[in-house]
């Protein structure tokens, strides 16, 4: 029986999963929306992955989790490793593109930049405070323009004179977009301008002060937008690599990290049928008033975290 290693990347917008073998060949993968419920999203993800393993003689023996809900999902699944997104994305990317020096990543609600030298992360930055320049920003503008966001890139490529859009803030960008539309600018020029504004916002905020070096790879949901890709190439004056698995790099990286732990325990997909409950408890045993998160399976405590001292420890 072949051993499999599972990586799960749980973000605020999307949840990604991948299963690889010992040589990093992909045995199964899936991508779906989190819908504000990471536990239910992961349950659905497990069903998809299990279905893809049918007729494959594979036993998942180790799991890694990353993303905003990595602690919660890692606890539920008994993950061998729980790792931050920076490390996971870097490991996944380097496994396929060992020459890469800069990683641009723009997701649904946040973005990041990772700088690599000799296969080691030497600097990074994240933007999680403002939605301007993210996938959710582009989706909202697409609705405003009555254009499917999937068509944004193709339409942007038709433009010969992109409109300047102020994208340092979502509110300003929306106001500017409405104003430009009312002035009669072509839709393709406005859309191309939005793509350029996403790139400028990213480079001026997330990439501010960073030494961007080629080769550069672009990841995250927004990397599927060819209009944004072209804007990155024009503004950086460098070719931009986009991997077909760019949306799965975090999951791939943490699957590799799970394999590297050498911690192996047979995993059962039946866990997707269990009922998990998360509750928040405010500890009043000291002035910290810590909010403690408890995770239970069928009423039994699996884990609890959030306490800053022993008095807030919950064991049952």
Per-residue pLDDT, 133: 64
How many domains does the chain divide into? 3
pLDDT of residue 13: 82
For residues 60 and 130, membership in a common domain is answered with no
**126 and 218 in one domain?**
yes
pLDDT of residue 239: 97
> What CATH number does the domain containing 212 carry?
3.30.420.40
Residues 206 and 257 in one domain: no
Q: Which two tokens stand for residue 87?
A: 């490390």
Tens of pLDDT, residue by residue over 116-156, are: 999 999 999 988 656 666 777 788 788 888 888 788 888 88
> In this structure, are 178 and 73 located in the same domain?
no
Domain span holding position 36: 2-91+250-273
Task: List, for the chain, all residue ranges whose pLDDT scores fall below the cut of 50.
Answer: none
Final residue in a domain of this structure, among 219, 242, 265: 242
Residues 234, 142 within the same domain: yes
Residue indicated by tokens 């999937």: 150
**Claim to verify: residue 223 and residue 254 sit in the same structural domain:** no
Residues 159 and 223 in one domain: yes
In this predicted structure, what is the pLDDT of residue 132?
Answer: 61
């Amino acid at each position: 029986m072949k051993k499999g290693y599972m990586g799960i990347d749980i973000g605020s917008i999307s949840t990604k999963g991948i299963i690889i073998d010992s040589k990093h060949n992909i045995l199964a993968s899936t991508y779906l929306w989190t819908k504000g419920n990471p536990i239910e999203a992961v349950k659905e993800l497990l069903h998809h992955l299990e279905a893809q393993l049918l007729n494959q003689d594979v036993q998942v023996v180790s799991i890694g989790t990353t993303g905003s809900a990595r602690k919660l999902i890692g606890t539920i699944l008994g993950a061998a490793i729980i790792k931050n997104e920076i490390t996971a994305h870097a490991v996944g990317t380097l496994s396929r593109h060992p020459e890469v020096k800069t990683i641009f990543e723009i997701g649904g609600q946040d973005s990041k930049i990772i700088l690599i030298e000799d296969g080691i992360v030497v600097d990074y930055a994240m933007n999680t405070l403002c939605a301007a320049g993210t996938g959710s920003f582009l989706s909202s503008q697409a609705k405003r323009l009555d254009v499917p966001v999937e068509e944004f890139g193709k339409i942007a490529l038709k433009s010969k004179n992109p409109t300047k859009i102020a994208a340092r803030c979502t509110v300003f960008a929306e106001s500017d977009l409405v104003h430009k539309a009312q002035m009669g600018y072509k839709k393709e020029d406005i859309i191309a301008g939005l793509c350029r504004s996403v790139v400028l916002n990213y480079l001026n905020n997330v990439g501010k002060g960073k030494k961007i070096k080629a080769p550069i790879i672009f990841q995250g949901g927004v990397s599927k937008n060819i209009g944004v890709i072209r804007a990155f190439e024009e503004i950086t004056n460098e070719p931009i690599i986009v991997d077909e698995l760019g949306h799965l790099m975090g999951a791939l990286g943490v699957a590799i990290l799970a394999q590297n732990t050498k911690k192996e325990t047979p995993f059962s997909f039946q866990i997707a049928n269990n009922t998990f409950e998360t509750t928040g408890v405010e500890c009043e045993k000291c002035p910290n008033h810590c909010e403690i998160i408890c995770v239970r399976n069928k009423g039994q405590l699996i884990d609890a975290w959030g306490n800053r001292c022993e008095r807030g420890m919950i064991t049952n």
